[in-house]
Amino acid sequence: MSINQHVTNFAGKPVKDWEPQAGIDENTCYALRLSYDEAEEGLRWTDKFAAFLEDPSLSRVTGIVIGDWGTLRPAGAETSEIVVEALVAARDRLPNLRAIFFGDLTSEESEISWIHQCDVSPLIAAYPRLEHFCVRGGDGLSFGSLKHDRLKSLIIQSGGLSANVVREVAHADTPELEHLELWLGEDNYGGDATVADLAPILDGKSFPKLKYLGLRDSQIADEIARAVAVSPALEKIRILDLSLGVMTDEGAAALLSSPAVARLEKLDLHYHFCSEEMTAKLQSLGIEVDASERQEPDDYNGEIWRYVAVSE
């Protein structure tokens, strides 16, 4: 599965491309992206961002979506570091910014594994009122010693998330966090995190207000399911999302054996490799269960292969 469309909604608000003559609505997230034609004409993402900063209603902006900054343009392309620096420098001009989506690129613009990110900790620290942060692309990504007093949702979309990033997130000081979503991916694209790296998240102490836990798109979905099924965190969260990975009957059986799973509001396992029989058992749990998009493994000369939904 590829990401073929730009986001249309983020942080509960519609996303629209920023247009200089349209004005600014505080109930809209504005997308700043560089089209291929603009890049060919010599326009840089920082040029577009500079024009955005001149909008007389800039202080009303509550959410921005950073699209393609010229990731694959050979001449004069901006890097994610330059984008971070520009956003940090503009912090006093965006006093009400509460939501940032960093890296809304489709597969046509760049495969998710090709998106080169950087240390985003200065960006998060620059906006003390920030509540929602999503980043797409795990290559080069870092959060450092993440600390934020108001952050409510953190989403990392990747075809392969490094163990180092997972550990940084697991040890983050974000007491208001309610939504944590990690796309763990597979090792061919850098996804080398283990269940042990997730331990501080699963012990239920790191994020006292957590309501949604998403450990998605994982090649070790069965191992994660076994660990989550007996974890203290499961007693606190309301939504468990293990979708997009290679979940089989083994992981599903562990979830079914956990009394805490039956007390959830929702269990999301869509895109999985469970049998029809096990899928039926999951759907009879008595809670909302999404067990759609059941997959069949590939058989190559007797060797079974299962693939996460998003990798390359």
Same fold flag, 1-135 and 143-312: yes
- For residues 245 and 218, give the distance between their C-alpha atoms in angstroms, rounded to a whole number: 4
Per-residue pLDDT of the chain (312 residues; tens, 9 = 90+): 679 999 999 999 999 999 988 889 889 999 999 888 888 888 899 999 999 999 999 999 999 999 999 876 655 567 899 999 999 999 999 999 999 999 999 999 889 999 999 999 999 999 999 999 999 999 999 999 999 999 999 999 999 999 999 999 999 999 999 999 999 999 999 999 999 999 999 998 889 999 999 999 999 999 999 999 999 999 999 999 999 999 999 999 999 999 999 999 999 999 999 999 999 999 999 999 999 999 999 988 888 999 999 998
Confidence (pLDDT) at 74 = 54
| Radius of gyration of the chain measured on its C-alpha atoms | 20
Question: Position 242: which residue type?
Answer: L
What is the model's pTM? 0.96
Q: In what order do the strands lie in the sheet containing 132-136? A: 9-10, 13-17, 29-32, 63-66, 99-102, 132-136, 153-157, 179-185, 212-218, 239-241, 266-268, 288-290
Neighbours of 229 (CB within 10 A): 19
Confidence (pLDDT) at 295 = 97
Please say whether the structural domain 143-312 has been given the CATH code 3.40.710.10.
Answer: no
Question: Position 204: which residue type?
Answer: G
What residue segments make up the domains of the chain, in order of their start?
Answer: 1-135, 143-312
CATH topology of domain 1-135: 3.80.10
